[in-house]
Structure 1
Amino acid sequence: MLVDLQVIFGRNMAHSKGMAFHITMVTLLTLGMMGSEVKAVEVGEHTQQLARANNAFALHLYSATRATHPDQNLFFSPLSVSTALGMTHLGARGTSSAQMSEVLRFNLLEEEHLHASFKQLNALLYESSNKYTLKSANKLFGKAGADFLQEFLDNTGNFYNSAFEAVKDFAAPEARTMINDWVAKETEDKIQNLFPDGVLNSLTQLVLVNAIYFKSNWVKSFNRDDTEPGVFRMKDETAHLPMMFKDGEVMMTDDKERKCFVLEMPYDGEDLSMLAILPWDDDGLANVEEQLSMEVLDFWDSDLEPENAMYWVPRFKLEDTFSLSSILQSMGMADAFDATKADFSGMTGDQSLHISEVIHKAFVEVNEEGTEAAAATGVTMTKRSISKRYRLRFDHPFLFLIRDRRTKAVLFLGRLVDPPHDIRVHHEEL
């Protein structure tokens, strides 16, 4: 899975105001399947508070995004958005800072602990593992000769491990190529040409980029020989998709209040897992989405139990690119985008900058592959007498999220509503 978020700043014409900065996020995820027990790890109080704040923002952003993208697939990394905007928040002051804190839910923890908590959370999430790859990279591309405050640059480096690179002219094609090449490198070439021609111009002063890359196998892989074409039912049509099959014990819950099933499918290495939320009814996704809350996430987590199930999950991949600028403004972060009101004096010492664009690009691929050796050494779940055998077919719109099992931080969030044509099985293949 790959996510890239870019924030672009430009300068405001009022003090030579009019120049902007830009934020970009890229997310790439390649997934497979497993089952395991989460490792015991000590998570600091402020780190846990930040994880919950990010989850609250994730649900708020998801709600706002689905309102502007009805009946469409969605996929994004709320953590990538929070990280890039967290770097931006370091330079925000006054009302701009207050609005950002409200929208991003940073106000759920004391500001003095905010950025240090990002540092601690990132250190925990992106620690080296030989079971999976999860890495994040941050970088600032700034206009050569611009007077960025050293304190701002030092803080982005300290709290977000972000490097700074001077750009002579953002309007030059080689500037766009340089940034796009950096993104491609950090995402294993899964995100190409992130910045289209025309996004960067002579008014651009600063580009903040966050890239997250995640690749993992399942502990217990799906058998490719069991994958067969199956019907996926949408609002007004059907499509044939390759449906993966698994039979056995899985952590799940049957949520009768929201009328959905929730399956947890952990990844190799024990730390990360996918929650797949399947509405009982073909048209039940909206009902689940409207009730999403922190309390619901907590309930699902606490109510998961080992059950015996047969389940069919489509093999799929999604790629999503969209601007978050209007969405963030509608959520209450308006001043940061207003050249007459934005206050990012913590970056330059004056109010010459505003955000001109926030671009997010994400890619996810889910397939059968897993690590059989890891499955053999995986910790087994406690067995109990099972009186029911579930048959779950993910053959209609469903929701999914990828989370860290230690902090419960939601790394990625999405839904499959309208399978892209390039993943469908065509009639001649049936």
Structure 2
Amino acid sequence: MDKILLWSLLLIFSGSQASRPLAQRNIEFAVDLYQAICLSHKNNIIFSPLGTTLGLGMVQLGAKGKAQQQIRQTLKLQETSAGEEFSVLKSFFSAISEKKQEFTFNLANALYLQEGFTVKEQYLHSNKEFFQSAIKLVDFQDAKTSAETISTWVESKTDGKIKDMFSGEDFGPLTRLILVNAVYFKGDWKQKFTKENTQLMNFTKKDGAAVKIPMMKALVRTKYGYFSGSSMNYQVLELPYKGDEFSLIIVLPAEDVNIEEMEKQITAHQILKWFSEMQEEEVEVSLPRFQVEQKLDFKEALYSLNITEIFSGGCDLSGITDSAEVFISQVMQHVFFEINEDGSEAATSAGMHIPVIMSLAQNQFIANHPFLFIVKNNPTESILFMGRVTNPDTQKMKGRDLDSL
């Protein structure tokens, strides 16, 4: 049952039929959005296709005409009624909360409207029922107070991990509606790395410069694949989280392959091929300990994907309010993502530690240069997070963490 519910969340509008084409459409949207983000971000990237889909779903619930049509086309939704699209979301949130002991998965959705605008009761009810989202009124004329109010709400919904999401400079005199989406995920590895084996090693950044970073090491038996295509070679590695519901997929190009060239060739079909063709093998893994935290305004990326109408003053959001002045001014997402030896901040002594016995495995996976990563739900092959690491963030690590290596 949980598998069906999770799929229904990630493929919000796709109905109850579980099949590969539905997973493919979800991944197609994730790839489209990733490539759009790459156009304006050259370094580390982290975003949540799940969060973006939920956020756009919140808007679609109240959009009409061209605004609704553009969202549905970009999300590759089937023609179906709203009841079929959202019917299982409420059950999913209950199911996911019951598994909190296996992972931390915090998702905060909210629409902030300028005071004086009346929101329709049906829209309020539907958002609360399907998305567990809050709709709040603020006075954007008092930009500083509004920023503090929204940031405090986000912080409370993400266990304090995402702070200061907005500042007063983010709002202007014409701000009418802010869509906020904050995501926080961490999980324990199924097979943990041993901290004693972590060593300082060189990581070659995209510009060719080298930086010292903590490199985690382990010998693991896991799904692995070596792929070739369009004159480029790369490795794909799967590291499952405890409980096997989620996995981290690392895509590592060969050292002579430009990561931006590889990104251009990624397709939903290719990603599904990785998932299906990886085989369980013994692999020597060297993976950076890293943090990626990023706040993105998706307006430019969504424009490039032909979602433009919701940002114009003439868009039809009459399902939200009767006011003709309302339009979306920002679509913000803030994601915090961390990889360490435990896989989770809430480190426990449970779990099997895999000793590092190098040179015994036939396969070596050494992530000492830029790579892509995906966090997927295994039962559905749906993507929760997607991004790349071009420079592991050592600036935010505590000095003692590096001194101990």
Q: TM-score range by the shorter chain?
A: 0.7 to 0.9
Give the match for residue 22 of structure 1: none
1:391 is aligned, of 364, 378, 393, to 364
CA distance in 2, matches of 1:344, 1:232: 48
Aligned: 1:159 with 2:130:
yes
Give the match for residue 384 of structure 2: 411
Give the match for residue 296 of structure 2: 322
- Return 55-64 or 194-203, whichever deviates more: 194-203
2:337 is aligned, of 331, 344, 364, to 364
CA distance in 2, matches of 1:170, 1:137: 24
2:218 is aligned, of 238, 242, 246, to 246
Deviations 1:275-294 (A, max 9, x none): 01111234342343122112
CA distance in 1, matches of 2:216, 2:140: 49
Higher relative contact order (CA 8 A, sep 6+): 1
- 1:126 CA drift (Å): 5.0
Q: Secondary structure at the match of 1:270?
A: coil
Whether the 8 Å contact between 2:219 and 2:284 is mirrored in structure 1 is yes
CA distance in 1, matches of 2:377, 2:115: 39
> Using a 3 Å threshold, how does the CA distance of structure 1 residues 42 and 193 change in structure 2: closer, same or farther?
closer
Deviations 1:330-374 (A, max 9, x none): 2111111122x3111111135321111122222211111155534
CA distance in 1, matches of 2:189, 2:177: 39
Number of aligned residue pairs:
379
> Using a 3 Å threshold, how does the CA distance of structure 1 residues 243 and 362 change in structure 2: closer, same or farther?
same
- Return 166-175 or 394-403, whichever deviates more: 166-175
Q: How does 1:206-221 map to 2 (within 5 A)?
A: 206-221=177-192
Whether the 8 Å contact between 1:53 and 1:108 is mirrored in structure 2 is no
CA distance in 1, matches of 2:144, 2:182: 21
2:268 is aligned, of 275, 280, 294, to 294
Give the match for residue 150 of structure 1: 121
- 1:308 CA drift (Å): 1.3
Aligned: 1:88 with 2:65:
no
Whether the 8 Å contact between 1:131 and 1:268 is mirrored in structure 2 is yes
Q: Secondary structure at the match of 2:316?
A: coil
Whether the 8 Å contact between 2:107 and 2:158 is mirrored in structure 1 is no
Deviations 1:285-313 (A, max 9, x none): 23431221121121111112111111100
CA distance in 1, matches of 2:155, 2:170: 18
Q: Secondary structure at the match of 2:330?
A: strand
- Return 176-185 or 414-423, whichever deviates more: 414-423
Aligned: 1:110 with 2:80:
yes
Aligned: 1:353 with 2:326:
yes
2:277 is aligned, of 303, 313, 323, to 303
> Using a 3 Å threshold, how does the CA distance of structure 1 residues 75 and 169 change in structure 2: closer, same or farther?
closer
Aligned: 1:189 with 2:156:
no
- 1:232 CA drift (Å): 1.0
CA distance in 2, matches of 1:118, 1:170: 35
Give the match for residue 32 of structure 1: none
Q: How does 1:228-267 map to 2 (within 5 A)?
A: 228-234=199-205, 235-257=207-229, 259-267=233-241
- 1:84 CA drift (Å): 1.1
CA distance in 1, matches of 2:123, 2:398: 51
> Using a 3 Å threshold, how does the CA distance of structure 1 residues 122 and 57 change in structure 2: closer, same or farther?
farther
TM-score (norm 2): 0.84
CA distance in 1, matches of 2:396, 2:198: 14
CA distance in 2, matches of 1:119, 1:53: 23
Give the match for residue 243 of structure 2: 269
- 1:52 CA drift (Å): 4.3
Give the match for residue 356 of structure 2: none
Whether the 8 Å contact between 2:179 and 2:332 is mirrored in structure 1 is no
2:148 is aligned, of 146, 165, 177, to 177
- 1:110 CA drift (Å): 2.9
- 1:395 CA drift (Å): 0.6
CA distance in 2, matches of 1:225, 1:180: 38
Give unpaired runs (5+ residues) of structure 1: 1-38, 377-386
Whether the 8 Å contact between 2:297 and 2:333 is mirrored in structure 1 is yes
CA distance in 2, matches of 1:168, 1:278: 47
Which residue identity lines up with residue 46 of structure 1 in the other structure?
G
- 1:170 CA drift (Å): 5.2
Whether the 8 Å contact between 2:184 and 2:335 is mirrored in structure 1 is no
Whether the 8 Å contact between 1:239 and 1:424 is mirrored in structure 2 is no
CA distance in 1, matches of 2:316, 2:282: 56
CA distance in 2, matches of 1:151, 1:212: 26
CA distance in 2, matches of 1:314, 1:363: 16
Q: How does 1:29-40 map to 2 (within 5 A)?
A: none
Whether the 8 Å contact between 2:249 and 2:373 is mirrored in structure 1 is yes
> Using a 3 Å threshold, how does the CA distance of structure 1 residues 103 and 41 change in structure 2: closer, same or farther?
closer
- 1:109 CA drift (Å): 5.6
Give the match for residue 350 of structure 2: 373
Which residue identity lines up with residue 208 of structure 2 in the other structure?
D
Deviations 1:375-428 (A, max 9, x none): 49xxxxxxxxxx9711111011100011111111211111011333516999x9
Quote the sequence identity (%): 29
Whether the 8 Å contact between 2:102 and 2:187 is mirrored in structure 1 is yes
